[in-house]
Amino acid sequence: CRALHERVLIPERAAGLQLSRESAQLVAVVAGSRFEFPECDCLVLPGAVDASPEELAAQFASKVMSCGALTVSAEPSLGESWVEINMSEGGQEKATIRRFISGGSAR
């Protein structure tokens, strides 16, 4: 979560968005408007089309599951655990993603 704290989140594949880098600045052009941010204050979300709670929760789940410490299970079984990621935006939009995990290899 520290990677997100006080950062400008920029979805890499947002419709109409053009990204470029100029002198340690991240330049975003969308709908004819140009925005410049210090690159160190930005986090470009790879493959993301928006920065909604649903998209962020999916990105987190993918990152957590890809670290290799956990493996995904297709369906829960008795005694199995899960990882649950909850995201909200100002208390209005909310998203929850749950991934069941197992101690062995992915099933």
| Tens digit of each residue's pLDDT (9 = 90 or more) over 45-56 | 888 888 888 888
Higher-scoring residue by pLDDT: 16, 79: 16
Q: How far is CA 83 from CA 3, 17, 27, 73, 98, in A?
A: 19, 32, 35, 11, 6
Phi/psi region, residue 91 (left: phi>0; alpha: psi -120 to 50; beta: rest), is left
Residue range 10-38, pLDDT digits in tens: 888 888 999 999 999 999 999 999 999 99
More confident residue, 69 or 107: 69
pLDDT in tens, 57-71: 887 777 777 765 555
Q: Would you state the pLDDT for residue 36?
A: 96
What's the confidence (pLDDT) of residue 41? 93
| Residue 53: Cβ-neighbour burial (10 angstroms; 0-12, 13-18, 19+) | buried
Which residues, at least 6 apart from 91, have a Cβ–Cβ distance to it below 8 Å? none
pLDDT reported for residue 38: 96
Q: Which helix (H) or strand (E) holds 57?
A: helix 53-66
| Residue from 47, 54, 42, 55 nearest 9 by CA | 42
The number of residues making up the chain comes to 107
Q: Give the model's pLDDT for residue 77.
A: 65
Across 76-80, average pLDDT: 65
